[in-house]
Chains A and B, each alone.
Chain A
């Protein structure tokens, strides 16, 4: 690893050599500003490097390195299986409780870690923000993307566990990328809101762990959403993570039948969060360098 060049970004476009010089226009912005997604695309290499740095540093700095990505959901699963599965006898849609909870814990851990990492990003990267210009959106996005590596590792363990327990994924697995996308969109949406707020209000640092803890119990991680009667079950989708978790269970284990309405509600809420979060972030962004 040490002797190799860093991995290549997915799309390394040839260097643009145009005779037309780019025109940079700086004006004070008022109210809601444009999202400038094209500019973000132009900075995709930086986005990639920031993600890559987060991953590399995290795995290099800690003693257990990559093991952390697996330990956290696995240990939680053990605890849940003992207390909810064995003692409280929480129903698990006919699936062994450990798998039932772990399948939910994998996307959940991605979400919770993403929120923690993203919301602190602007403050820990204050030095960068004060010294160079780049689309500020790159920081929360890269921090959430870095969580995908942890997710992949935890997911491999999940597949191993399923194999060990003799469970084969259903054909529904082709839908899994869509549910992962839903998890990413939700993390980004909530993450952007929290990141922008964190710069203004340092309270957010204390709120995030508490928020993720409450949110986990409001999400069917330790129990199935089928505990709820129907109109409420669909409304449960207002918590987009409920849609993600139920989607994962259905795609991998075929549990509970296709959760169509709940997914639809979740997807709408997640997209709403992402769009509003991006606008809010862009609005607050201009003060970051002065405040952070």
Chain B
């Protein structure tokens, strides 16, 4: 089996980012726009702007001339930074959105798994949802009937199969949702990072299932931020950067190139060559490392666990007061917080030459689940010097769990917000006065 399963040929996808915000979705605006457009265009010409120039800088090429071929039976990892176009590519392949240019040919039934539990309805029973979700994912009714018992057993929800899923615990809900998806049997399977939800036991179960799928000779495209998962599941990896294919090859080679490029978001980075390290003649950054309380490298951490950011730097000139800072962002690039080293021992003190490690502890039960990217900065305030600024120094994954002792309690659905602190809750009860 070496015939082609997927051929992607010069696919480009353009999004209009600026216009979507300015151009509102009301009829009034469309009518008003149509009436004023000639005048606007005329005034643009009078001011010396070319027509249409204004629109040009409001577009974004999420994918830019992407081409590759995948044979039947290959399991391919898709890696890249946030915004590199991975999700857009999956959406194009799963026909959710159309490419602006180029084309794709796929040979075989395509199943896409961009989210577990798509189309689940809270009012319907587990049984009903299996059929509904299966149909939405493209399974035939006979197929669902045949696999029904298997799905129920995998999800371990036998007793509650006729209970509306709104009464399910969050763990049961996720297990059922994944169970349906896991029994999808198309020739080509597209999987987004659905494994970033749930507790570690559940994640392991999902990974094992994914591995089994790969061994059945099916073609899989798997998007993940987790390099260990990519190298474990995939033989080949494609690295997308700014909408283009940057590298395509053996997964461990591509993954290590990605991590070493500085674009990658690993949990630890080192600059062994001092001359190449970020910084100047006063101070240079030598390493940034994320670790947990039990000294593990913090790649994927439970939401309840605190994470330490160890910033190792070398002071080359004595007598300068330094301000180590860090900024945390989520995958959308939203700034979550910034922090400045407050250790009284060195606060505002001129430092002697030598190696320093500044550690900041990010408390558990604070950040929402997802990828957290840490930027490290070193500056001096009097006089104002920016010694170095490393925007994507390190990153880690926060995973929420369904044990019931996190901010989400027993809720399994979507939680909004960029942080997820566990608040102190109290309820006062005042009985009615008789």
- A residues near B (Cβ < 8 Å) are 2-3, 5-6, 8-9, 12, 14-15, 21-29, 45-46, 49-50, 53, 56-57, 60-61, 127-134, 200-203, 286, 289-291
Contact = CB atoms under 8 A, between A and B. Distances in A.
Contact of B115 (A15, A60, A131): A131
Nearest to A201: B27
5 nearest CB pairs, A to B: A133-B95, A26-B104, A49-B135, A24-B106, A21-B108
25 contacts: A3-B162, A5-B127, A6-B128, A14-B142, A21-B108, A21-B187, A22-B108, A27-B99, A28-B99, A28-B100, A28-B101, A28-B102, A46-B136, A49-B131, A53-B124, A53-B132, A56-B124, A56-B128, A129-B96, A132-B118, A132-B137, A133-B96, A133-B110, A201-B26, A289-B91
A22 B108 CA distance: 5
B140 A45 contact: yes
Contacts of A2: 125, 162
Contacts of B110: 24, 133
A57 B97 contact: no
Main secondary structure of the interface of B (DSSP, over half): mixed
Contacts of B140: 15, 45
B119 interface: yes
B341 interface: no
A269 B322 CA distance: 78
B114 A132 contact: yes
B142 A15 contact: yes
Given A26-B104, A61-B123, A201-B30, 14 more contacts: A21-B107, A21-B109, A24-B105, A25-B103, A26-B98, A26-B106, A46-B138, A49-B136, A128-B118, A131-B96, A131-B118, A133-B112, A286-B98, A290-B15
B141 interface: yes
A185 B413 CA distance: 38
Interface of B: 15, 25-28, 30, 91-110, 112, 114-115, 118-119, 121, 123-125, 127-128, 131-132, 135-138, 140-143, 145, 162, 187
Nearest to B30: A201
A50 B92 CA distance: 24
A128 B119 contact: yes
Q: Which residue, of B96, B110, B112, has the highest number of chain A Cβ atoms within 10 A?
A: B96
A13 B162 CA distance: 27
Nearest to A3: B162
Contacts of A286: 97-98
B319 to A, nearest CB: 56
Contacts of B28: 203
Given A128-B118, A201-B27, A6 B106 contact: no
A61 B121 CA distance: 11
Given A45-B140, A45-B141, A132 B94 contact: yes
Contacts of B101: 28
Contacts of B136: 46, 49, 128, 132, 134
B26 A203 contact: yes
A130 B96 contact: yes
Contacts of B25: 200-202, 291
A26 B96 contact: no
A129 B96 CA distance: 7
B205 to A, nearest CB: 22
A69 B104 CA distance: 46
Contacts of B143: 15
A135 to B, nearest CB: 10
A14 B93 CA distance: 27
A10 to B, nearest CB: 11
Contacts of B100: 28
Contacts of B98: 26, 28-29, 286
Of A129, A201, A291, the most chain B CB neighbours within 10 A belong to A201
A12 B141 CA distance: 8
Contact of A26 (B30, B103, B124): B103
A85 B142 CA distance: 54
Contacts of A61: 123
Contacts of A46: 135-136, 138
A192 B121 CA distance: 24
Given A15-B140, A45-B141, A56-B128, A132 B96 contact: yes
A290 B212 CA distance: 34
Contacts of A128: 118-119, 136
A289 to B, nearest CB: 5
A26 B99 contact: yes
A58 to B, nearest CB: 10
Nearest to B15: A290
B188 to A, nearest CB: 9
Contacts of B187: 21
A53 B125 CA distance: 11
A12 B47 CA distance: 65
Contacts of A129: 96
Given A23-B105, A26-B104, A28-B101, A45 B135 contact: yes
B29 to A, nearest CB: 9
Give the residue among A6, A28, A131 with the most B Cβ atoms within 10 A. A131
B162 A289 contact: no
Nearest to A27: B103
A130 B112 CA distance: 12
Contacts of B123: 56-57, 60-61
A90 B135 CA distance: 50
Nearest to A14: B142
Given A15-B143, A49-B135, A57 B121 contact: yes
A23 B107 contact: yes
A12 B224 CA distance: 37
Contacts of B93: 26
